[in-house]
Structure 1
């Protein structure tokens, strides 16, 4: 059974594995039947292969997730953590703009443009100790374009 400490650990471990570029390790934290919505408002997706595509794109863009202090809910199954993510705009940024997930970059942005956004990630952990639900809360106003590294 999950508990508050496990839930907090998993939400931070998610960020650690993204930072390490460890897609397979990240996916091992999740149930094969995971549902997720990132960002909330863009539609729920389901299954480990959908999560593989989503998380793989972030890792390909060299996402770095700076996790804050996680908090747990008293249900023993849910945790949330504030995160500041920085990642390359290319190669996936144009798709995110097309889908309406992020605003278009300034016209004078170069090929090394990075983006940063703050968000809150929530997870719900099942009796098997794996994440069964994940949601990322962030909006267009949370995205900032940065120059190259």
Structure 2
């Protein structure tokens, strides 16, 4: 009798393997879509300060590099910058008005301060160093 190419033991492992792979895929890096608020592309590595509205926050992709950056502008040149990724599991955040929402596990962050509003994230968004020179904003370093 010829031995089958797939043994019963291996056949029984297939459903468990498929479930494990599905679970890993769900926890992997998320797409770069930010909900309905797509990041502003700064392909040359800088963005005009005029493209960042006063008293608002804007997600920016500096030169196609990761991570995306959340720019928070007050009045004039008052500018702060935070990571655009959740501190819980590293998923890309979606901007919804005054908050950033994590599509993976439901964390929410204040878009003006980076503070956690709703968990499971427990750490605020890390600051990102940016500089403003000649009306252009770029990552520092």
Structure of greater Rg:
2
More contact order relative to length (CA 8 Å, sep ≥ 6):
1
TM-score normalised per structure 1: 0.27
| Structure with the larger helix share | 1
